[in-house]
Structure 1
Amino acid sequence: MSHKLPLNGIRVLDFTWVGAGPLTTQVLAEYGAEVIKIESGTRLDYLRLLPPFKDGKAGVERSGYFSNRNPNKKGISLNLKHPRSMEIIKELIKKSDIICENFTAHTMEKWGLGYDEVRKIKPDIIFAGMPLMGADGPHANYRGFGVQVSALIGILHLTGFPEREPFGMGTNYPDHVPNPVHTAFAILAALRHRKKTGEGQYIELSQIEAPLCVLPTPIMDYMMNGRVQNRQGNQHFDFVPHGIYPLQGKNRWIVLSVQSEDEWQALKAAMGRPEWAEQDAFTANAGRIANQAELNELIGRWTVNYDGDELLRRLAKAKVRAGLVKDARDVLNDPQLNYRKHFVYLDHSEMGYHVYNYAPVHMSKTPAVVDQAAPLLGEHTKQIMKDLLNLDEATFEELKKEGVFD
């Protein structure tokens, strides 16, 4: 690391697991925070049990999913049912700035680690909780993951084709974007508040509320027009052509989007102004909307004659919005992403060199650093007990023998 990062000196006790929580603390770790991930060998982070596994061989240290969510972190493993584990956690709290957790509402309170208890130990602590449904209300104790959030706030209702059942997005969007981003931003705001006032605070991020902030159109459409938007497939309400079209080769596709008359003329020019494109039915956007099934079929007959890269260059030159539909292999070999050094390869203790995403924000003075692979279960337990809590070797071994560290 050749520069001082903005969160150097900030310590985070990371109780999070699965998706939204670990991604929140990952952002903090990329900008210099010391993130101590607290795990339990008897209640593993669910991601450790999920594929893809290195070489297809399952194991708690072999999940690429877990690994990609937890770089730059230190890991300790505690038996949270052991009373002396709570003593250790309370000592760690005294030396920390932030606690982050994404359990079901009031789980931390049941452990005696709710905000009211924690601030007695460290009055200026910043405590970020991420309960699925919020901390109160009739459904506060409901459980779920990102897919349940997507269902509850209407994302699944909008994904798929009009005549088919909802079929999701292929990823848990709330876990990966709005929930961690909103929480990380709130934590940074709380740190600024603490710097100015000396006061810590409690942050509550409802995982069903944050993604609604980036889904305004369906809500506003219903409020203003009484209209419930339905699944549209690849279509757009207002612009045509707008869809996915076949290319040469098996399962290769390109996305096109035309949003003005000038862009329609540009697409026609790129296609060589075929006679069918000059039909009256396609002259205006309203006609193209009314006849979009026929238009999409005709455009597909043209795109299928081209290699994807060749057609993308042609459309980019014509200033037509276009993008290739890429699989994971394509993405890892993408020349733009690799030029910008988006992928980082780190040496994991068990899996060897493994790919991680670099931070998508590039800062000129304090760029993020991703330089440590995800921790093994309890990898840094001894180091943190000795260096941070000043436990001597005999005490550490005694606690280990008692089953405090699992």
Structure 2
Amino acid sequence: MDKIIGYLRYQSIRKSFFIIVFIMAIIVIMLSVGTVGICTRIHDNILLSKAFVINPVEINPSNDGTFKVSGSIVEENESDTYTDREMMICRITEVMIIICPLLFSFLGIWCAGSIFYHIKLKKPLLLLNQGISHISLNDLEFSFDYQESDELGCLCSAFEKMREQLLENNVQMWNMIEERRQINASVAHDLRTPITIIKGYSEYLERNLVKGVMAQDNILDIVIYMKQAANRLEDYANSVHDVQMLEDINLEYADVELIDLYNEIKSSLEIIEQELGKQIKVINNLPNISVYLSSTAVFRILENIVRNACRYCENLVLVEISLIDQNLIITTTDDGKGFTEQDLKKALNPFYKDKGQRDHYGIGLTICKVLSQKHGGDIFLSNVQNSGAKVTVKIKVK
């Protein structure tokens, strides 16, 4: 029995339904035929036992040498000799001959439906109902344990994928909220200094200009300081705007020859090398094929991670470009001090800056993170033993 149930569990709903109905139909037919046969035999035995009587027969010789038979051995019994018990049994059997097939049919339908429900429907429907209840309570920390490959198994698998996607979306949403909170906190902190400078100098001018005790040179110096603080505010506001715009950017994809991409990358890095006065070495491991990607995103990512490496290196930045499993891998390694433990945890956060750097706004690696994730990849930070920092960017290509 367990083997039959196990077999039915792995069949499609349609096939399982027909198998169960077919088996129950055979059982109903067998029970109906057996019951009708037994009732008919009982009914006929009672009727036939009283329907005829056996009379004696007379055999007389005739003149021509033959024998003449007179009378009948069997003849109808015209007398009413049935007992009440026999009549009741006859009526019951007549009713059973009509009722039993109908009763067995209804019982067969009920049994087939009940068996089909318990084998094929009960568990997946219960799991789906529980899943809907969890989702309605914003609880996505559950999973479906239903491994059958029938239609409801496919439905449960699709429901599980939907749950995983909802959970992933919720995690991303909370990460975005946390990033926004960090951005707001960073903006509030970094804007405080230029605002304080502008406010302090404006109050100083307000007090001393009225008294007429300030020289023209001092006034000019203060105006220059205030302008520098205002420029810093403007640059910072532009940086915040750039980070927010990245979340809504749409990448433009196109077929790109990797050999052409490498030549353009090499030319761009030569310009950065001359601009920053650092040595940039490129290792090309790209095959000579065409891939589908956003070259704009690739160049922007590459420029940010290379400039970031040049900012912290002693003299050399090594850039390696490869194509592995439909992923464009860009790795930069510098000969600097490497990432600190805090850098490894927070360097990808917007506006993160270590204590020794004040000449940038800490959005370069954030830009790389957003663009690589929009391109189906990600960015990873690590340190190289006996060397400096290592940044690996993975970009999905087709």
Please indicate the TM-score interval, normalised by the length of the shorter structure: under 0.3
Q: If the length of structure 1 is used for normalisation, what is the TM-score? A: 0.19
Using the size of structure 2 for normalisation, the TM-score is 0.19
User: Whose helix proportion is higher, 1 or 2?
Assistant: 2
Report which structure shows greater RCO (CA 8 Å, sep ≥6). Answer: 1
